[in-house]
Amino acid sequence: MNAKTLPHINDLRRNGYDPTELDADEYVYPPTEDAPMAKRPDLFVNTVNNLQYGASAIELSEQLNECVEAARKTGKKATLTLTLTIKPVGRDSGQYELREEIKAKIPTMDRGMTLMFGTPEGNLTRTDPRQGELQLKAAPEATKPDTLKTA
């Protein structure tokens, strides 16, 4: 079987690319001189979906949702960063150790200010201790006239 030469990812997207339609049999491993390995256009998505048996993709989706919600609520930018560290295992083994680090910077709402007053004892209070309290009373209810005047 000859390896299939895949088009550029942008050409695939323009033509309605669906990564679920990729067939694993299209890829030849190990590559040979007459059948070089084709590059997967979905390599990144496939790799992320396989990290930690899919748990990392779920975490990324949850973090992305949190970032979008917080950005919408606060009007501030959020960032979500995935760092992949790829280390070969041995020499010519064809194995790689992948470690991921997921970081999210989620914006928070600006917190309001509370004005308080200090007392001579060193306490805080919402009312100014130097100002006396006004003795306010409720106003009597207004009565409605029995008859209305008409012009």
Kindly state whether residue 89 falls inside one of the protein's structural domains: yes
Q: What is the DSSP string of 12-77?
A: HHHTT--GGG--GGGS-SS--SSSPPPPPTTHHHHHHHHGGGGHHHHHHHHHHHHHHHHHHHHSS-
Residues of the chain above pLDDT 90, percent: 40
Residue 107, pLDDT above cutoff 70: yes
Pairing state of beta strands 124-125 and 117-118? antiparallel
Q: Name which residue leads in pLDDT, 42 or 117.
A: 117
For residue 59, is it left (φ>0), alpha (ψ between -120 and 50) or beta? alpha
Kindly state whether residue 112 falls inside one of the protein's structural domains: no
Q: Name which residue leads in pLDDT, 148 or 137.
A: 137
> Would you give the DSSP letter of residue 129?
T
pLDDT tens string 38-61 = 677 788 998 999 999 999 999 999
Kindly state whether residue 134 falls inside one of the protein's structural domains: no
Kindly state whether residue 130 falls inside one of the protein's structural domains: no
Kindly state whether residue 127 falls inside one of the protein's structural domains: no
Kindly state whether residue 80 falls inside one of the protein's structural domains: yes
Q: Quote the number of domains for the chain.
A: 1
Segments forming the whole domain that contains residue 65: 9-105
Residue 3, pLDDT above cutoff 50: no
Residue 1, pLDDT above cutoff 60: no
pLDDT of the residue at 14: 64
pLDDT tens string 67-98 = 999 999 999 999 999 999 999 998 888 899 99
Dist CA 106 CA 110 (whole Å): 13
